[in-house]
């Protein structure tokens, strides 16, 4: 078996060599894996570093879907393991992947330590969601729907998970934290010093995810019930940050029914229930929730 680690970087240089080094320093022999970096910039020091370590270095413009499509297209691995440029692998992650996929695993999600420059393992951001964080996901290459991949613009972690679900693949997970997930000012969920900008950002991100999930519902019609619930979670968030958003009570009952019957395949139900309750709460309660979320982000 051979593993291809695909690292993507977009307009961001400061963390990339750390990410690559975390893969180079694995305790799995290098003959069992390759590293492919897909980025949209040139940098003499970084490019020399990649080339000197035998890393495939692809420079191109495009969306995250196009980046991943290109990386997977040139990969030689039976298994694809993803890594965002600002995250890190533990030194034994690829050994675990090699063992799991040698034992008929088709999709693996591992837990993660969440860290900032000030704090390691931030408990409130930890999650066992099987589709959370692309850097925590590995999958057999044959399961990835390449026809759809190139068209996606966000939520690649959801897409890869849906690919596995749609093929009835054997899904594995572990609570062991083999990925370090970094929170910082240039992540997709940016930090703001102004609460109005924070509210707009939270709404815009939730809306963007909601629209992408709606596209996924068309790509994976057999998974529509699961994807609709994922969409609802983001719809609840949208309503928290913009009270004008309308959600029919049928959808609330649907989400509660799913929670009661333990359908936890692709999203965090405890978080979802909190978001659902907050979306139904009076304005004063929503404001308190938003202020708390804003203050928490300031402390990162």
pTM of the model: 0.89
For 251-289, how does the pLDDT look when each residue is reduced to its tens digit (9 = 90+)? 888 887 776 554 444 445 677 888 899 999 999 999 999
Asked, for residue 77, whether it belongs to a domain, the answer is yes
Mean model confidence pLDDT for the chain: 89
Same domain, 255 and 214: yes
Asked, for residue 148, whether it belongs to a domain, the answer is yes
Domain boundary (157, 182, 207) is at 182
Same domain, 10 and 74: yes
Q: What is the pLDDT of residue 264?
A: 47
Asked, for residue 188, whether it belongs to a domain, the answer is no
Q: What is the pLDDT of residue 226?
A: 86
Asked, for residue 189, whether it belongs to a domain, the answer is no
Same domain, 129 and 237: no
Same domain, 265 and 175: no
For 5-46, how does the pLDDT look when each residue is reduced to its tens digit (9 = 90+)? 999 999 889 999 999 999 999 999 999 999 999 999 999 999
Q: Tell whether the model's pLDDT for residue 107 goes beyond 60.
A: yes
Q: What is the pLDDT of residue 125?
A: 52
Q: Which residue range is the domain that position 20 belongs to?
A: 3-182
Per-residue burial over 202-218, b if 16 or more Cβ lie within 10 Å, else e, is bbebbbebbebbebbbe
For 54-64, how does the pLDDT look when each residue is reduced to its tens digit (9 = 90+)? 999 999 999 99
Q: Is 287 exposed, middle or buried (0-12, 13-18, 19+ CB in 10 A)?
A: middle
Same domain, 32 and 142: yes
CATH code of residue 151: 3.90.550.10
The tally of domains found in the chain comes to 2
CA proximity to 47, closest of 76, 13, 85: 13
Tokens of 186: 């240039």
Asked, for residue 257, whether it belongs to a domain, the answer is yes
Same domain, 11 and 135: yes
């Amino acid at each position: 078996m051979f593993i291809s680690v695909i690292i993507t970087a977009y307009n961001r240089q400061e963390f990339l060599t750390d990410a690559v080094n975390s893969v180079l320093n694995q305790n799995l022999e290098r003959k069992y894996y390759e590293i492919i970096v897909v980025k949209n910039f040139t940098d003499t020091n970084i490019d020399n570093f990649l080339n000197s370590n035998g890393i495939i270095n692809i420079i191109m413009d495009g969306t995250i879907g196009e980046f991943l499509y290109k990386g997977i297209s040139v990969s030689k691995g039976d298994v694809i393991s993803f890594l965002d440029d600002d995250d890190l692998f533990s030194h034994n992650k690829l050994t675990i992947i090699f063992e799991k996929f040698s034992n008929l695993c088709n999709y693996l999600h591992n837990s993660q330590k969440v860290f900032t420059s000030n704090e390691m393992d931030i408990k409130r951001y930890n999650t066992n969601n099987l589709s959370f964080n692309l850097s925590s996901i590995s999958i057999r290459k044959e399961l990835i729907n390449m026809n759809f991949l190139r068209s996606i613009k966000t939520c690649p972690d959801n897409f890869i998970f849906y690919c596995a679900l749609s093929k009835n693949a054997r899904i594995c997970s572990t609570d062991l934290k083999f990925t370090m997930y970094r929170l910082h000012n240039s992540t997709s969920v940016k930090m703001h010093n102004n609460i109005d900008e924070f509210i707009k950002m939270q709404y815009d991100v939730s809306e963007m995810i909601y629209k992408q999930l709606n596209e996924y519902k068309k790509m994976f019609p057999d998974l529509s019930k699961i994807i609709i619930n994922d969409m609802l979670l983001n719809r609840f968030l949208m309503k928290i940050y913009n009270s004008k958003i309308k959600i029919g009570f049928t959808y609330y009952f649907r989400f509660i029914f799913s929670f009661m019957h333990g359908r936890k395949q692709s999203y965090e139900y405890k978080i979802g229930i909190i978001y659902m309750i907050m979306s139904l709460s009076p304005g004063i309660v929503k404001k308190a929730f938003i202020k708390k979320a804003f203050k928490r982000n300031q402390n990162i």
